[in-house]
Each structure stands twice: as C-alpha cells, then as structure tokens.
Amino acid sequence: MQFTFTEEQRMIRDAVAALLAEQSASTQVRVAMASATGTDDALWQALAVDMQACAVLVPERFGGLGAGFVEAALVGEQLGRHVACVPYHATVGLAASTLLACADDAQQAAWLSGIAAGTTIASVAGLAYAERKCTDGARFRLHGDGYLLSGRFAAVPHAHVANLMLVVAHDETGETALFALPAESPGLSARPIPTMDQTRAQAEVLLSDVAVPASARLTRLDDTTLTTARDCATVLIAAELLGVADASLAMAVDYTGERRQFGRAIASYQAIKHRAADMLLKAELARSAVYYAACVANEALFGRDEAARKVARELPQAASLAKAYAGEAAFYNAGSALQLFGGVGFTWEYDVHLYFKRAQGCSHFLGSPALHRERVARALLD
C-alpha cells in the first residue's frame, strides 16, 4: 500500500526532521540520558512550544492546529528515528488521545489547550493492555463530593516531569473510571526509575488517598472509548518503532558501505545484501500498517458521520497490526544492525545499541507483538 502525503504533511515531517537533526544528535541524546530527568528540556521547548508539534492532534477550538493523527504519526516517526528524549508520546499519544476519546468538551477545553501550547506535559497511568497478571493499579472510592485515589504504577512514561496525570482506577465493584489531576496533588508522587531504554524516561507513580473533585472524572469513559484511547496510543508508539527500524537500516547500510574486509566493502557481499533487503522489507511492511492505522485512528477520534464510524470500527485490528509489524521490524532491524556492526556494535561509543534498546522497550510497551497478533486472531475468529 502506497501512501502519498499532502504538502502540509511533508512540511511538518521535514521541519521536525530538520529540528531533530540539529538538536537530537548523538551527543545531545547522551547528555539528556544522563540528566536527572532523562529528558531534553531544550529540545522539548523547541518541539512543543516553538514548533507546536503537540498541537497537531488538538482541534483548533481548543487552541490546536487541528491537523490530525497522521501528522502526529509523522512527528512520532521522526522522534523514533532520532531516539529523542522528549515526552511526546506520553503527552500526545497517551494523554491527548485519551482526552479526545474519553473527556467531554468542557474537560477537553480545560486540559488540551495547555498540551497544544506546549506548556503541559502529561502522561497516563493504567492504560496498558493486561498482558499478564500484575499488582499495578489504582482504586477509587467516594469521599464527600469527590473521590479518593490510592494505588501504585511501577512504570509510567515521563510521569516525573508531567504536570498533568491521567489515572485509570477501579472501585470495589470493578467499575472503571478515569481521572485527570495535577501532578502536584497532595498524596501523588512520581519517582524516576532505572530502565533498559535510557532514551525514554519512566517513573514509579504512587497515590496515597489523593483527593480529587467530581469534575476530575472523565465523563465519556466507557469500554469503547477507553479502547479507542489505548489503540491510538498504540498506533503512535508503532510510528516511533517505524522510525527506529528505518534509522537502524540506514546506519547498517552506511557502516557496511564503509567497512572494508578482504579488500572490498562488506556491503558488497551477498549475505550482507540479503540481510539489508530483509530489513528494508520489514520496514516497508511496517510503514503501510502504521499509516493505515493512523488514518483509521484519525476517523475514530474526529470522524462524525456514518462512513467515519464504519472506518473507526477497524481501529482495534489496525492498531494491533501496526504494533505487531512495527515492533518486529524495529527489533529485527536494530538487532541486525548490531550484528552487522560486528564487535564495535556492542560498545557504548557507537549509537546502534541506543536503537536496539529503544526497539526492545517500545516493542513491549502497550502490548508485545505476540499479544497484538493474538488480538487480531481472536477478532478474526469471533
């Protein structure tokens, strides 16, 4: 499947690519990784505030650009290509998608405007697929005119730098609710944790009898809207994985074209050519799946007529296919690049290990490729 982007979409992609080439090079990524927060504040200022990259998914009536989900995916792909240390997916993929799917107009107006302006960093705790039994989670109970929240989440992307937290919680009857609360709320804390992928910071989130007003509860939440939010976040992480897959291939091609053995570039050997061809094939298959899913996600969030609703019903399968293909492509390509670099690929000084870790971390975030293939299989058999 061939996608042709509009002129505006190409301009967004090229502008983000140029910014990241200048401000998210290897040296800057490594400085951000080693910082206390694990994020690049200067890059985030340029991306979110100056370039308004977070505004692409926010409707114009809430201060956004009203572009759409494909544009957000284009930004995400470039961030993956440069392993950028910024909370874009947490703020846009997780939080903005969740607000668009699950909040009413008044709640969207209150919280999306800050995301569009780049002044709000947000994240969501509890949105992940239940791939296995775990002790993570939050409980809510009535307290006066509002609620009390308590619980723990072991790893929430960029929660320690967020000033808005969305929390999925359950009551004693099993009812699910979603709350939006300021990060400085008494009883809410986020502690950075060490991670394998140092380019995506995460934090442990603790809630100890956090009092929230009734207005903090998102009013449009149900099983369908929560699934839509989760699937949209999955599509955007798949776009990042596509960028990782592409960058890994490019690094491998450049290195094998320069590395000489037995008097010739190792890229001239058939075994290397075949591996590169396999990497290209996986990346292109992932690209089709990702951008088709992005188009479907756009209809799910913004479509209002019957034709849009018909397309939106494909989102669960489209999101899972995108994540499965992109996750496997990124992991295969980054792993292959690591091998093609030979011994130096395993050293800290070369960047290929950053892509391998990003691929591994993102592949399992919001469901592994195996989980998503099983999800598609169940849908086909139902």
Quickly list DSSP for 297-346: HHHHHH--SHHHHHHHTTHHHHHHHHHHHHHHHHHHHHHHHHHHTGGGGG
Q: Domain check: are 296 and 361 in the same one? A: yes
Taking only the tens place, the pLDDT of each residue in 74-121 is 999 999 999 999 999 999 999 999 999 999 999 999 999 999 999 999
Q: Domain check: are 155 and 18 in the same one? A: no
CA atoms lying within 13 Å on the CB side of residue 12: 25
8-state DSSP, 51: S
Torsions phi, psi of 36, nearest 5?
Answer: -65, -35
d(CA 128, CA 206): 17
8-state DSSP, 192: E
Residue 301's pLDDT is what?
A: 95
d(CA 381, CA 272): 40
CATH number of the domain within which 173 lies: 2.40.110.10
Taking only the tens place, the pLDDT of each residue in 158-194 is 999 999 999 999 999 989 999 999 999 999 999 999 9
Question: For residue 351, how far is the Cα from the chain centroid?
Answer: 21
C-alpha dist (Å) from residue 248 to 16, 22, 276, 354: 19, 19, 10, 10
Share of the chain above pLDDT 70, in %: 97
Confidence (pTM): 0.95
Residue 133's pLDDT is what?
A: 44
Instruction: State the chain's mean pLDDT as an integer.
Output: 94
Q: Domain check: are 74 and 194 in the same one? A: no
Split into its structural domains, the chain has a count of: 3
Residue 308's pLDDT is what?
A: 87
Q: Domain check: are 116 and 131 in the same one? A: no
